[in-house]
Amino acid sequence: MLPSIPSESQIALTLKTLGGLTSLEIAHAFLASEDTITKRIYRAKEKIKEEQISLDVLAKSELISRLDNVLKVLYLLFNEGYNSSHPDMLVREDLCEEAMRLTYLLIQNQETNLPKVKALIALMCLQVARFPSRLSDKGLIILLQEQDRTKWNRPLIESGMTFLLESFLGSQLTEYHVEAAIASVHTVASDFKNTNWKELLKLYETLSEMKPGPMVEFNKAIAIGYAKTPMEGLSALEKIKGLNGYHLYLSAIGDFYIMNGEKLIAEKYFTEAITYTQSTTEIELLKRKLELCQKLCS
């Protein structure tokens, strides 16, 4: 990582050159436009040329000061694999595996074997453990409430929970600790109905203070809808700014309207959501939700 280049540009450039992500995929990670990311990467490259910045191996004393940006790169690389922006691939296991491999290397290094690194690998383990039940044999999305939890990878869950417990031995609480804790709540629930949504809401409230932004508010609103009532979740969703063109946001609004018995309004949001995604699996899921609306209305 290069200290004279802004942090966000460092991360974007690293995702491009080492992670192999496209500008569009990086834009998806940053919730920015592709043009913004392209310019950001271009300016970073120009700065390297103009200032003749050399890419040297870091001394041990410099590792810790650069670690946060490294973890952010690995986190975003993993996220792109977990919920890919590629139109024909919802999951890219290769990216998740590479992010996990690199994070595990940090744990094996004495200088970077820190609680926040263990929290990140815990999050990755707990998320990847669900892969066997996320897609059907035909490649269709299986929602969390419909997943066969007996298919979840138990060894990975055990590893994730061990890393999570070890991560809390330190004095620092990071966003990775909170997100891993959120994943653990889903993991220990016997089924969707018995998920501890009140605990999840508390965790999202903590995360919202640490990492304010529309995506955290989005997930917090969903937790509100299940911990309290669908209409309270809907009210929280409608207060979020900047997600009007995000298909998962529109779909979540539709879900809460269905839960509240308002099928015709839900149908409108699912129809609109389809226009904002190119993912074939997401489109298929939204069409299934539309079919459910039509059955319930008939």
Q: Nearest 5°: phi and psi at 149?
A: -70, -15
Measured at the CA of 287, the angle between CA 285 and CA 293, to 5 degrees, comes to 110
Task: For the chain, give the mean pLDDT.
Answer: 89
Tell me the average pLDDT across 139-157. Answer: 93
pLDDT tens digits along 192-248: 999 999 999 999 999 999 999 999 999 999 999 999 999 999 999 999 998 988 999
Residues listed for the chain: 298
Domain ranges across the chain:
244-298
Q: Which residue has the higher pLDDT, 4 or 134?
A: 134
Question: Distance between CA atoms of 22 and 41, rounded to whole angstroms?
Answer: 11
pLDDT tens digits along 52-91: 666 665 666 666 778 988 999 999 999 988 887 776 767 8
